[in-house]
Amino acid sequence: MTKRISQTHSPESPPDWYWVKGLHDAHITLVESFEFPFDYDRYIREKNTYDRNCLTLTVDAAGAMFDTSVREIRLYNYKYLSPETTPEGHGALWWIGDRLTARDGRFELEIDLYDGEAFPEEFTVRVRFERAEVER
């Protein structure tokens, strides 16, 4: 793995669920996405107010340099902003760094990842989502 350390960058007052100290060198062991069934009873002809999909990142943070408490990250109502680079379909992934921004009631997370068996070995995943849950 490369020796470059990318710091975590977050908004001025990050949300409670965010890993402020960073997850550098955490191992992503599983990436799962799930589409929830459409709920016609909750559809109100405006912006949907229910969870439509979920991206789950299972993390082994025992070897992380800073925050070792994170076990699972769930991003609800997500959309990849970089569809050509997603974490799905990769082997062993390592977290290098991330940047979180909040905009218009949504969050954007850019995650720098490392996969020693891919080309290029380092790549960035950009995802927009409405809310997140982090299991510690």
3-state secondary structure 64-93: CCCCCCCCEEEEECCEECCCCCCCCCCCCE
- Which of 74, 78, 76, 84 is CA-nearest to residue 124? 84
pLDDT of 85 reads 84
φ/ψ of residue 120, rounded to 5: -75, 160
pLDDT of 4 reads 45
pTM: predicted TM-score of the whole model, two decimal places: 0.84
pLDDT of 2 reads 41
- Dump pLDDT digits (tens) for 31-88: 999 998 876 666 666 555 678 899 999 999 999 999 999 999 999 999 999 888 889 8
Averaged over 3-23, what is the pLDDT? Answer: 72
Q: In what order do the strands lie in the sheet with 53-60?
A: 79-80, 122-129, 106-114, 93-103, 27-35, 53-60, 72-76, 131-135
pLDDT of 89 reads 79
- Dump pLDDT digits (tens) for 75-95: 999 999 988 888 987 878 999
> What integer best gives the mean pLDDT of the chain?
86
